[in-house]
Amino acid sequence: MHDDRALIEARLKRVLDERIRPALYPDAVPLEVAAWVAPGEPVPVAEGLAAEHTPVAVGDAWGAPWATTWFKVTGEVPAKWAGRTVEAVLDLGFDERMPGFQCEALVYTPDGSPVKAINPRNQWVRAGAPVQGGERVEWHLEAASNPVILDVHPFQPTALGDRETAGDEPQYRLARLDLAVFDTTVWELIQDLEVLGELMAELPVDAPRRWELLRAIGRALDAVDLQDVNGSAEAARSELREVLAAPAGASAHRISAVGHAHIDSAWLWPLRETVRKVARTTSNMTALLEDEPDFVFAMSQAQQYAWIKEHRPEVYAKVKRAVADGRFVPAGGMWVESDTNMPGSEAMARQFVHGKRFFLEEFGVENDEAWLPDTFGFAAGLPQIIKAAGAKWLLTQKISWSQINAFPHHTFRWEGIDGTRIFTHFPPVDTYNCQMAGSEIAHAARNFKDKGVARHSLAPTGWGDGGGGTTREMIAKARRLRDLDGSPTVVWEKPADFFAKAEAEYPQAPVWVGELYLELHRATLTSQAKTKRGNRRSEHLLREAELWSATAAVAAGHPYPYAELDRIWKTVLLHQFHDILPGSSIAWVHREAERTYAEVAAELEGLIAGALAALAGDGAAELVANAAPHPRSGVAAGALAPAVSDGADVLAEPRAGGGFVLANGLLRTEVDARGLIVSAYDLTAGREAVAPGGAANLLQIHPDFPNMWDAWDVDAFYRNTVTDLTAADEVTLDAVSGDAATVRVVRSFGASRVVQTLTLARGQRRVDIDTEVDWHETEKFLKAAFPLDLHAERYAAETQFGHLYRPTHTNTSWEAAKFETCAHRFVHIEEPGWGVALVNDATYGHDVTRTVRDAPDRGTTTTVRLSLLRAPRFPDPETDQGLHRFRYALAPGAAIGDAVREGHRINLPERRVPGAGPVAPLVTVDNDAVVVTAVKLADDGSGDVIVRLHEARGGRAATAVTTAFGLAGARATDLLERPVDDGPELHREDRTVRMALRPFQIVTLRLNRAGSDG
C-alpha cells in the first residue's frame, strides 16, 4: 500500500480546525449585554447585581487593568430550538493560549447564586438540556480584567503589575456573547478524533496500531459531509468505535488522573484576586463533579478554602458537600504550598499544623500526603517534618525543571537529615497542568524511570497557575483513555489511593539522601530582600510572643493571646507561599507584603511588651529578656535577669597603613584603610581566619541578566564579571568604650550608597557587621565575600531543625549546579578542631568556593559569599530599589554548636526592660546541643505547655527538660499536639523529663501542669 500517512494526518488537522470544530454550535442568537464598572476594588455580589448597567455590544473595549466589570446578559431561547441542548457562549476577548493569566468571570443567577466560571478554555454556560423554547435567560458576570503580565514575549518590564502604575487603558474587547445550540454529537466526534489523532502521533511509524488508527480516521473523515457536519457526525463516529474499543495491553503503564488546579496564592496577581480565582475554579469543579460520576478533584492549600469560606460562602457550601461525598479532596495538609527552602523550623512545622488542623476541623479529613507540585526545591529537613505532622507521602514535579542533571527516579524514598524516609513521587508527565493530551500521556509512560519494577504514576489534570481546573474535554479524553490499545490506561483516583498502590507495588523503592535541589530559580533566595527580611523577623517575633506569653500566662496569670497568635501565624504562613517569599510576584504583592509585615511586627511587639511587663512587675531594675535558646550575658534561655558583663575591655588603635585594630582578649580584628577586614585573629587558638592576601566583608557586584525568568534565575555566567567595591568615602572609628568598639565605613558606587558599622564587643568571638544599603542599581547582583583560610571539602548550612553539608568542590555536574544555595541563620566551615561561622539575620542565598593559593604557602582559601541584593526588572521593574538593612557576623574559632548559638543571637536580640527582679525560665534544658524552637500553650486551650526541641549538632544527645511549674504529666506528641507512640522514651521525676535524642531528632512535648484548670 502506498504511504499516505502524512496526507491523512494533515487532512485531519484541517478538517478538525476548519469544519468540525466550527460546527459545534450550529445555530446562535446574540444576547443582550449591559455593563457596570465597579469603582476601585471588587464589591460584594449584591452590590454588583443591583448596580445600574449601561448597554454594551460585541466589539466594545472593556476592562482597565485590575478592574471589575459586572456584565448582565439576557436573552430568549428561540421556540425552534425546543428539545435541543443550549448554551451561552461568552467570549470576553479571551486568548486561548493563556488560561489563568488574563480576564476571567464568575457567573451568577439573578438571585446571586454562583453557577460556574468562564475563562479562555471554558467559555460556556448551560442554559438547558433539553430546552422547551421560549425561556428567558439571565446571568450576571463578575468579570476581572486582570492584565497579561507574562505575555507571548515574556519577561519584558511592565508597569501593569501594580494598580498604582498600571493605568486605565482597556485591556480587552468583547468577542462573542451568544445563545447557541450545542451539538453533543459533534462535540463527541471532536474528542474521538483528538484522542485517536494524538495517540496515533505518539506511536512508532512502523507500529501496526498506528496504521489501524490512521485508516479508521481516514474512513471517519470520508464520512464527514463538509457541507453538513452536524448531519454526518454520527456516521463519522461509527467509523471510530472499533478502534476506540480495542483494550490496552497487559503491560500498559497505569496513570492515576487527579483533577487539579494548582492556583498560585499570589504571583502575577495580588492576593485579593486569588480569592476570586479560587471561587471561580471551585465553582467549575463542583459543577463538573455533578455531571461526571467518575471524576475526582483535589485541591491543596487550606488558606484557599478559608478564603472561599469567608468571601464566597455559597461556593464553599458546594465544596463542603463535594468533600463529604469523597470526590472533592483536600490535599497536602499545608496552609499554603509554601517555599520549603527559606521558612524556618517552626514556620515549616506550622504550615502543616494549621493546614492539617483546618482540614480536620472543617472536613474530618486527615492528609497522609504533602502536595507541593510547584515549589522551587525541597530542604533536607522536610521529611522529618512531614512525618512529625502525621503524614507519610510527598508529591512534586518541579525537579523536572532542573537545567543540568535529570533526577534518576520518579518513585523513591526521600531521606532527610535525621534519617526519616518519605515515600515520594515525581509525576513523569512533567507538568501539574496535564490536559490529557496524547503527547503528555505518552511522555509519562516513556519518561517513567522506574519501569520494570513499578508501573503507576500520577497526572495532575487541569489548568493551574492562575486557575481554571479540569475541563469537560479533559474528562472526555480520560474516558477514552481508560482502556485503549496503544496508550497507558487512565483512571480518576484520589491521591491517597494512588500512593497506596504505588507504595505497595514498590516496597524496595530506591533512596535519595539529602535536599532535593532545583537546578533553576536559584535567585529566589535573594530577590525582594524586604519580603525576606519581613519573613525572618516575623518568625522570630512569633517565637518571642509565644515564649513570653506562655511564661506570663503560667507565672503571672496573664491572658494567653490564642486568637491573635493563630491569626498572625496564618498571615506569616500565607506570605511563605512559593511566589511571595521567593520574591517572584508582581510589585503589588510585595508592596502589600511590606505593609503586612510591618503590621505583624507592630502587633507582635505589643504582645511581647505586654507579656514582659506582666512578668517583670513594677520596679526599676534593668532586666535582660533572653528569648534565645542559649544563655547569654549571664541570663538563662527564656529568663529575665540582670545582665552580667565579663571579658576584657575592648581596645581600638590606629593600624599602620591606615585603618584600625580592634581587640578584646579573644579576637583581634584589623580593618584596613579601605574599610575591609584583613585580619580576624583567634587569640585563644592562635589562628587567623582571613586568607593571606584576602579581605573579608568585601562587597562585590556582578551584572545579572539571566537568559529568562528574571526574578527567579541567576545563571552561572554572572560570575564571569565582577567588580570589587574597595573604594571608601569614609573609614572612621565611630565609637569606642570598654564594652565595644565600632568602625564606620561609607561607600558609594553607581547610583547607590552603603554604610557599614563593624563592631567588636566585650567577651565576644565575633565581628558584627551592620550594613545599610541605599540601592538604586538595575540588573546587578550584590554579594559580601569572606575569603577564609580553611581547607574543607564540605560546609554546613542551617536548614529546618538542623543543618546539611554541601561540598565546596565541583567534582561532578551535580555539585557544579549548586552554585547558589540556601542557608538559614548560619554557614559553618571547619578543619578538624577549628572552624568559622558566618551568621546573618535576613539573608538566605549564598555561595561557597575554594581555590589553592600559589607558593609559598599553597594553602586553600574557602570563600563564603552572602547574597544581599538583586535588581531584576520582571515581574516587578522596581525590584529591591530603596533602603535595606542587613546584619551579619564573622565568628572565628566557632564549632558547629557556636554557629547554632550565634545564629540565634543575631536573630533574637536581647530586650532590656525595667522590673522588680529576675524571672525564671518556664522550661530549661541542660544540654546546649538541644535547641528549644517553641514554648507555647497548647492550641486546644487546655493550659498544657507545649515544648518543641531538637538535637542541633548532628549527634546523639541526652537532655533533661525541667519546668518552673508543677508537672502532672508529660507525653510526646506530633506537631498537632496529639500523643504519639513512636517518640523518645520519657523518664519523669518531679519537674524533670529526661530523654535521649537521635541526631537532628524533633521532639514535641505536651506538659500537663499540676492543678491547671486551663
Handedness of CA 350, 351, 356, 357 (dihedral sign): positive
Q: If we measure between CA atoms, which residue out of 821, 22, 921, 893 comes closest to residue 342?
A: 821
Distance in angstroms (rounded) separating the CA atoms of residues 55 and 71? 9
N-term to C-term CA, the chain: 86
Phi, psi of 9 (to 5 degrees): -65, -40
β pairing state of 802-807 and 794-799: antiparallel
Asked if residue 331 lies in contact with residue 256, where contact means CB atoms within 8 angstroms, the answer is no
Largest CA distance in the chain: 102
Angle at 786 between CA 784 and CA 792, to 5 degrees: 135
Neighbours of 216 (CB within 10 A): 19
Residue 383: strand, helix, or coil:
helix
**DSSP label of 62:** E
Half-sphere exposure of 844 (CA within 13 A, CB side): 29
374 belongs to the catalytic site: yes
> In the structure grid, which three cell numbers stand for residue 11, read together?
487532512
Q: What is the 3-state secondary structure (H, E, C) of 698-762?
A: EEEEEECCCCCCCCCCCCHHHHHCCEECCCCCEEEEEEECCCEEEEEEEEEECCEEEEEEEEEEC
Distance in angstroms (rounded) separating the CA atoms of residues 288 and 383? 35
Cell numbers 491569626 correspond to what residue?
567
Distance in angstroms (rounded) separating the CA atoms of residues 822 and 6? 51
Distance in angstroms (rounded) separating the CA atoms of residues 330 and 969? 35
Distance in angstroms (rounded) separating the CA atoms of residues 1011 and 995? 24
Handedness of CA 237, 241, 242, 246 (dihedral sign): positive
Phi, psi of 217 (to 5 degrees): -65, -40
Asked if residue 899 lies in contact with residue 796, where contact means CB atoms within 8 angstroms, the answer is yes
Distance in angstroms (rounded) separating the CA atoms of residues 600 and 157? 31
495 contact partners, CB below 8 Å, separation of at least 6: 258, 298, 329, 331, 369, 371, 393, 395, 458
811 contact partners, CB below 8 Å, separation of at least 6: none
Asked if residue 880 lies in contact with residue 529, where contact means CB atoms within 8 angstroms, the answer is yes
**DSSP label of 875:** S
Distance in angstroms (rounded) separating the CA atoms of residues 928 and 800? 18
Q: Rg of the chain over CA atoms, in angstroms?
A: 31
Catalytic residue among 91, 192, 374, 898: 374
Distance in angstroms (rounded) separating the CA atoms of residues 291 and 308? 22
Phi, psi of 913 (to 5 degrees): -130, 150
**DSSP label of 454:** B
Distance in angstroms (rounded) separating the CA atoms of residues 38 and 764? 60
Phi, psi of 218 (to 5 degrees): -60, -45
**DSSP label of 777:** -
Distance in angstroms (rounded) separating the CA atoms of residues 825 and 842? 8
Distance in angstroms (rounded) separating the CA atoms of residues 214 and 996? 68
Distance in angstroms (rounded) separating the CA atoms of residues 438 and 617? 72
44 contact partners, CB below 8 Å, separation of at least 6: none
Q: Annotated catalytic sites, by residue?
A: 374
